Structure 1
Amino acid sequence: MFNDISQTIIYISLFFSLYFEVFLLITYFEKRPLLRQESIQQDLARFPTVTVIVPCFNEETTIPKTIFSLLRLDYPKDKLDIIIVDDGSVDGTLRALHRFKNNSRVRVYSKPNGGKHTALNYGLQYVESELVGCLDADSFVEPGTLKTILKYFNDSETMAVTPAVRVYKPRTVIELIQKVEYTWGIFYRKMLHFLGAIFVTPGPFTIYRTEVFRKIGDYRHAHLTEDLELALRMQTNRLKIVNAHNAYVHTVVPKTLRSLYKQRLRWTYGFLNNSLDYKFLIFNKRYGNIGFYVLPMAIISIFSSILLLLILTSTNIARAYDGLIKFITVGPDLGFSFDWFFVHTSPSLFLTVFSVGLIVSILVLARRMTEGRFHFSLDLFYFLFLYGLIVPFWISHALFNTVFSRKTTWR
């Protein structure tokens, strides 16, 4: 009975996985001419005024580099305003910001700690520019990134443009895994761009028309994922979000498994709770691909990963128990047999291998899209063989916290 149920769950999970991967590949090849066209550098017809808000809390080691990256942007100085909002830091962040006090392009404000969304809203009250963006205090923009993003605003319907986020100088195994994950994310977000279904406007340098906040309101607490909630609110109000796949921003990522776990627990918890807040989007054809396809697939993938973890755990426990009983009753079995002419033909194994092959294909395309070429390296190996083993744990934890109304903290 258990085997039948577990096999059914495995086949259903593999079906959705394969469907999702094939759908992404079809979207890519169908939209590749548009992708090439977007990659052609274009001169800006005009230079709109832009304000970038940098919220920071205990970021003394990275905030100077973040500000310098903004000051080095290839953009007219009189058109760019930089607002730094310290959210009650208790380390040396304010001392680090003191060096910019005489820079006319940088305005520094300090307020009591209230959370990232309050720091962003504090900065918004000083914005008078046509466009406004957010940059996390642990992220750094390339000089040409702003111009690349702004060309997408030539379309008067575009209300927000998300960048391509890369990992800054990955060294540890955990960072290298995230490097591949972020490369996948660049590809995935661009496919969502073509589907009109972007559901996160990430903190590292998403640029908005200022009128967005006048139309739909300021940032919200949003279960500590204000960037996800704002994107869902924009989609609900039919405000167009696009992606600039070649506008690069580099971000510092967690270096240890513990810090990665806490970050992803917060992200997954935020997604689940914001999905509940915007449950009217799910399977709602009125909201296009985001409601009828993208959000349901994301939710299905979450529950599938949890069920597969439970099946894998229970199966291994059962095998270990059977092995122990066999050892107690008949002693150790040191025999080993191998048959060159035997091939395991389990359909689930075949489909799993096929699914992994599609994932590798997507990663090859993603690397070519972001780096111009594909090269095999250890980070790809780490991602394929380790990432899937750890993801279900923070997903399960986030679901537990959601079901039992347990709060998730930032750090």
Structure 2
Amino acid sequence: MAELFMYISLFIIWFMLFYHMFLMQGGYLHYLKYLKTKEKWDENPGKMPTFSILIPAHNEDMVIENTLKSMIKLHYPKEKLEVIIINDNSSDSTGEIVEEYAKKYTFIKAVHTKPPNAGKGKSGALNQGLKHSTGEVIAVYDADNTPEPDSIYHLALGLNKDKKAGAIVGKFRVINANKNLLTRFINIETLTFQWLAQAGRWYWFKMTTIPGTNFAIRRSILDELGGWDEKALSEDTELSFRVYNLGYYIRFFPAAVTWEQEPENLKVWWKQRTRWARGNEYVIGKYLLRFSKLKNKKIGLDLFYFLFTYIFFFIGILISHAIFITSLFVDLELTIGFVSYVLLVTGFLLFVTEVLLALSMEKQQLTIKNVLTVLIMYFTYSQLWVCLVVYATFLEMKRIIFKQEVKWYKTQRFNQKEQVAVEKTNAKRTS
């Protein structure tokens, strides 16, 4: 019986590894191609649409001013731009800071929400902001984001030149990547995710997941969908599925770049990632149960990806770990013993290769320090993800069984004194 479970776990793990190799190949091909596409589009960008940028903010006085300054620096006609800050029932000085900038700049607007329709999460705040917006295109940035000056132009360019795209997704970078070992792990994780999962899925399947920030979506689509699902903890993933179902695709266009702050300690990381995992599991359950009623069956590709990533793959990992630990104390009489070790070592090498390839696509990221970090990452950060998904699954099952109300966790921010200096070198560091 133990041998059968070992075979099952190895099959699941290697299936995912091969799929990731396939995606990374697509990500690399997209990396080689997208700059040529951008150059061609730049020759005749077309008429720029009016933009409404929504920035939900709940107790963000530590970071909101830097975000507002980056909005002022955007290279986009200000008469076609409105920046709407949704001060979502903040108890700090977020509202005062936003009002100060709104008085100075006519394209910046402040929306203040109050109970009972306030402070319940990002989706609710975005829906409030949407009601006050007028743009043909809606863009979203988190309150800790500092987009590069050309980011909105590139999002608009993508929508102008690709009429089949319902939304355009840009790239995000970690502004505090060098703060400590955890932020270096997160930096490597985000780069790998974007070039493997985002760029790879776009290249092969014309599918990309809307992230929580640095994306633009046609207003007509949001109006048709009725805005954001306020029950979804991962409102971005849930919105992606509904956009697919209307028959549109979501394009990954990494020319649009924003910089964001990431958690600097494990407590904040654990809470944020637990919300992400639970949110994605909510989406899996929501669309798996109604798959037969979906108009666009292509959604099944992404549904399968999320299902395999958050359920089957982690089950395979747990089984292999359990058998390995048990075999240290009990003779399980595994005939595949030696072969399994070879496969596991080879799997580790493939993991390292994929991550290093992703780092090679970004300037100054394929360094000796990052290579060593990747080696450590597999045995620490990646294993921590396994524990987190198990915990998130338990919470989500508990919520369903006891019909508990979904509670939103707002990610804690950290003071970034060096942020201004970092922003000055952003353009030189990105590819």
Shared fold, TM over 0.5: yes
CA distance in structure 2 between the partners assigned to 1:30 and 1:279 by the alignment: 31
Partner of residue 305, structure 1: 314
Confirm or deny: 8 A CA contact 1:159 1:212 kept in the other structure.
yes
CA distance in structure 2 between the partners assigned to 1:348 and 1:49 by the alignment: 57
- Work out whether 1:230 is the aligned partner of 2:231: no
- Work out whether 1:138 is the aligned partner of 2:144: yes
Question: Which consecutive unaligned segments of at least 5 residues does structure 1 have?
Answer: 323-343
Matches within 5 A, 1:16-165: 16-28=15-27, 34-40=33-39, 42-43=42-43, 44-102=45-103, 103-112=105-114, 113=118, 114-153=120-159, 154-165=161-172
Matches within 5 A, 1:12-411: 12-28=11-27, 34-40=33-39, 42-43=42-43, 44-102=45-103, 103-112=105-114, 113=118, 114-153=120-159, 154-170=161-177, 171-187=179-195, 188-196=197-205, 198=207, 200-279=209-288, 287=296, 290-291=299-300, 293-303=301-311, 304-309=313-318, 311-313=320-322, 315-316=324-325, 319=328, 346-371=338-363, 374-378=366-370, 379-405=373-399, 409-411=407-409
Q: What's the RMSD between the two structures over aligned residues?
A: 2.7
Structure 2 vs 1, CA of residues 31 and 249 (structure 1 numbering), >3 Å: closer, same or farther? closer
Q: What is the CA-CA distance between 1:71 and the residue it aligns to?
A: 1.0
Structure 1 range deviating more: 357-366 or 171-180 = 357-366
TM-score (norm 1): 0.86
Confirm or deny: 8 A CA contact 2:208 2:252 kept in the other structure.
no
Q: What is the CA-CA distance between 1:225 and the residue it aligns to?
A: 1.5
Structure 1 range deviating more: 252-261 or 364-373 = 364-373
What is the SS of the residue equivalent to 2:139?
Answer: strand
CA distance in structure 1 between the partners assigned to 2:38 and 2:349 by the alignment: 27
Confirm or deny: 8 A CA contact 1:200 1:229 kept in the other structure.
no
Structure 2 vs 1, CA of residues 40 and 358 (structure 1 numbering), >3 Å: closer, same or farther? farther
User: Match of 2:356, as an amino acid?
Assistant: V
Confirm or deny: 8 A CA contact 2:51 2:135 kept in the other structure.
yes
Q: What is the CA-CA distance between 1:318 and the residue it aligns to?
A: 6.2
Q: What is the CA-CA distance between 1:46 and the residue it aligns to?
A: 2.2
CA distance in structure 1 between the partners assigned to 2:129 and 2:87 by the alignment: 10
Confirm or deny: 8 A CA contact 1:306 1:395 kept in the other structure.
no
Q: What is the CA-CA distance between 1:254 and the residue it aligns to?
A: 1.1
Confirm or deny: 8 A CA contact 2:167 2:216 kept in the other structure.
yes
CA distance in structure 2 between the partners assigned to 1:76 and 1:397 by the alignment: 47
TM-score (norm 2): 0.82
* Percent of aligned pairs sharing the same letter: 22
Structure 1 range deviating more: 94-103 or 281-290 = 281-290
Equivalences, count: 388
User: Match of 1:123, as an amino acid?
Assistant: G
CA distance in structure 1 between the partners assigned to 2:293 and 2:381 by the alignment: 32
Confirm or deny: 8 A CA contact 1:86 1:110 kept in the other structure.
yes
CA distance in structure 2 between the partners assigned to 1:25 and 1:307 by the alignment: 21
Confirm or deny: 8 A CA contact 1:134 1:204 kept in the other structure.
yes
What is the SS of the residue equivalent to 1:249?
Answer: strand
Higher radius of gyration, 1 or 2? 1
Structure 2 vs 1, CA of residues 83 and 301 (structure 1 numbering), >3 Å: closer, same or farther? closer
Structure with more relative contact order (C-alpha pairs < 8 Å, separation 6 or more): 2
Structure 2 vs 1, CA of residues 132 and 31 (structure 1 numbering), >3 Å: closer, same or farther? closer
Structure 2 vs 1, CA of residues 28 and 60 (structure 1 numbering), >3 Å: closer, same or farther? closer
Structure 2 vs 1, CA of residues 191 and 372 (structure 1 numbering), >3 Å: closer, same or farther? farther
CA offset digits 1:352-404 (Å, max 9, x no partner): 23333333332233223232773332443343332221001110011112223
